[in-house]
A and B are shown apart, each in its own frame.
Chain A
Amino acid sequence: MLKQFLILSCLAMSTAVLPAADNIKVGEVASLTGKEAAFGQSSHKGTLLAIEELNAAGGALGRQFELLTEDNQSKAGESATAAKKLISRDKVAALLGEVASSRSREMAPIAQNMKIPMISPSSTNPTVTEIGNYIFRVCFIDPFQGTVLAKFALGTLHAKRVAVLTSVSSAYSVGLAKYFKETFAANGGTIAIEQKFSEGDKDFRAQLTAIKAASVDAIFVPGYYTEAALITKQARELDLSIPLFGGDGWEAPQLIEIGGKAVEGVYYSTHYSPENQTPAVVAFVKKFQARWNGEIPDAMAALGYDSALVLADAITRAGGTEGAKLRDMIAATKDFVGVTGKTTIDAQRNASKSAVIITVKDGRFQFVQSVAP
């Protein structure tokens, strides 16, 4: 009952346009609450901004867009239920979501079976789009991110011996760790020690003490921001002063909020930087800040925004919302200019985009370098 109430109130907050018979319904599954709430909130704000802008410009095919958002509470098992509800009860034309790869993989089989196109804004694990030909994404994938990070560790951090601390219960973490290790080892680096944890763990001192004994140059933590912040904090408490770095899962203001001074000097790779001076990014940051109380959009917000625009563009080209036709049009997306660069959907239904490296300095995120694919 309570959960229904929460979902209903989320719906009430997020549905900007009142339901009408001929609206184009777009379903969104996001982690608005729970452990990865920062991702869901950012992504949702970006998506909603895009939908509002599209509607203000007249929608598509003479119809308005209607965004229906479901919260999965960052929990395993909820995304599939949410996707089912959006497709069978609300009859959405397409699905947007999720940020986390594990949860995208829960939704994808449902979308594939019902032949409803699904676009994940920021799930980077390659297996997500392998689920079927209706599943797309508008971000880069982990084999690329792993390569970028491995080269960054060797080239910029000059780390020869690296420890890897993986979350075994997250598809994203396991995948990213694998691709990182492959490239890192192939380029002359040594993985000195590998340690594991599970989602929801809070004590990492045991693993970090073992890592400390292995005397490494840096620690790679492919995981999400809550764990990353706690791990960094506990590493500093154990007097481990070596650099820690991770992937796009680290990007959330909570990283600095939880980690405090401990996260100074950590690095992570992500999809875009709000400091980028291209006209698209400057305009997006301005619009986003005007809509959301001056909040600076992060990569999840930018990808959420782009995912909605890519979908709207495909709907316009398809001239309707029929599943198979819409699928073909999303698959045909080429050089679509968005905030996170040009989106071209390849044969594996992935996008190839450049990555940026970000560091934390004086309690703020700071752009370090950009890496083209």
Chain B
Amino acid sequence: MTEFLQQLLNGLSLGAIYALIALGYTMVYGVLRFINFAHSDVFMVGAFIGYYLGHHVPESTVWGGLLVLTAAMIGCALLGMLIERLVYRPLRSAPTLNVLITAIGVSLLLEYTGQLVFGAAPRTFPPIFPSANFHLGPLTISSNQLLVISVTLILLFALRFIVMRTKIGTAMRAVSLNPRAASLVGINNDFVISFTFALGSAMAAAGGILYALNYPSIDPLMGVMPGLKAFVAAILGGIGNIPGAALGGLLLGTVETFVGGSEWSTYKDAIAFAILIVILLFRPAGLLGKFTVEKV
């Protein structure tokens, strides 16, 4: 029983990171109806911003850690907006397939520019937050795991608040529903889309920092696997749906951890992805997604 609860805890903290990245995929999809494959590399850039800034703040302090986290989120928000402005906006009226391939191109560009600028050798991420182990009866949780879960929850609720309760959030939903009608009622679509990219990229940066804190060896290709899993999590939860992305991330992380701790650990990705296929067979739009008929 202890082992089960401990694994559940491990799974939730891993899933929380997937959830953070998945939010970015799902938001961009919700507004623009395309998968931003460069998202996982924005995640990597976030970790590297943290790496460079982390050496300039005192180690293991809460304010230093929060400062680095905020700076990385701002840095990546700007990067996300820049990518959107330079690459995706000129292709706004092009077929989705073109945008999709361009997104893969941007992803590779970021990865290999990263190898040139940051170097291909893995770096050691500095311990920017203080770390300790907490005990809940027989369970052990590290402060880093706790941090991941709480930051994810805070950001998730903040995001939910922005989307559901603010003016810009209403505009985002309007653009998502019908971009043409939205611009007819006076919404500046370009601004809303820019804002969506900024928000999603900031989430990715937070994910990058939290990931690097938990697994302190970072390299320019670090985003590939977590990015793929988060993408899967977003689809699992119903792409375009914010609580769905979070649910998908947590589910994927938990399944992976339980399989990883069993004797079938070699098959952990295979089993996690097989479950995805089974769920999608029964719920093609994802767990919380609504199935919509494309009008021709």
Query: Given that A202-B215, A209-B6, A239-B140 are known contacts, is A34 also in contact with B261, CB under 8 Å in the complex?
Result: no
A260 touches B225 (CB 8 A): no
**Contact flags (1/0) for A330-362 with B, using CB distance below 8 Å?**
000000000000000000000000000000000
A90 interface residue (CB < 8 Å to B): no
Cβ-closest chain A residue relative to B132: A237
B121 touches A37 (CB 8 A): yes
B210 CB, nearest partner CB in chain A, Å: 13
List chain A residues, Cβ under 8 A from B215.
202-203, 230
List chain A residues, Cβ under 8 A from B219.
34-35
A interface residues, tally (CB under 8 Å): 34
Cβ-closest chain B residue relative to A5: B116
Choose one: A6, A200, A209, A233; the contact of B261 (CB below 8 Å): A209
Interface residues of A in 93-148 (CB under 8 A from B): none
**Contact flags (1/0) for A204-238 with B, using CB distance below 8 Å?**
01110110110000000000001001100100011
Chain B interface: which of A51-59, A191-199, A242-250, A270-278?
A191-199
CA distance A206 to B261 in the complex (A): 4
A2 touches B217 (CB 8 A): no
B176 interface residue (CB < 8 Å to A): no
List chain B residues, Cβ under 8 A from A38.
121
CA distance A207 to B133 in the complex (A): 19
Interface residues of B in 109-134 (CB under 8 A from A): 112, 115-116, 119-122, 124, 127, 133
A209 touches B7 (CB 8 A): yes
List chain A residues, Cβ under 8 A from B140.
237-239
B258 interface residue (CB < 8 Å to A): yes
B266 interface residue (CB < 8 Å to A): yes
Query: For the complex, would chain B's binding face be called helix, strand, loop or mixed by DSSP majority?
Result: helix
A232 CB, nearest partner CB in chain B, Å: 12
List chain B residues, Cβ under 8 A from A213.
2-3
Cβ-closest chain A residue relative to B10: A205
A257 interface residue (CB < 8 Å to B): yes
B14 interface residue (CB < 8 Å to A): yes
A239 touches B7 (CB 8 A): no
**Contact flags (1/0) for A1-14 with B, using CB distance below 8 Å?**
01000100000000
B262 touches A260 (CB 8 A): no
Choose one: A33, A200, A207, A257; the contact of B260 (CB below 8 Å): A207
Cβ-closest chain B residue relative to A41: B121
A237 touches B266 (CB 8 A): no
CA distance A226 to B259 in the complex (A): 23
A266 CB, nearest partner CB in chain B, Å: 16
Choose one: A202, A207, A230; the contact of B265 (CB below 8 Å): A207
A47 interface residue (CB < 8 Å to B): no
Cβ-closest chain A residue relative to B13: A205
5 A-B residue pairs with Cβ-Cβ distance under 8 Å, sorted by A, are: A34-B121, A209-B6, A210-B262, A212-B3, A226-B122
Q: Which 10 A-B pairs have the closest CB atoms?
A: A206-B260, A33-B120, A202-B215, A206-B261, A37-B121, A237-B142, A205-B10, A210-B261, A213-B3, A206-B257
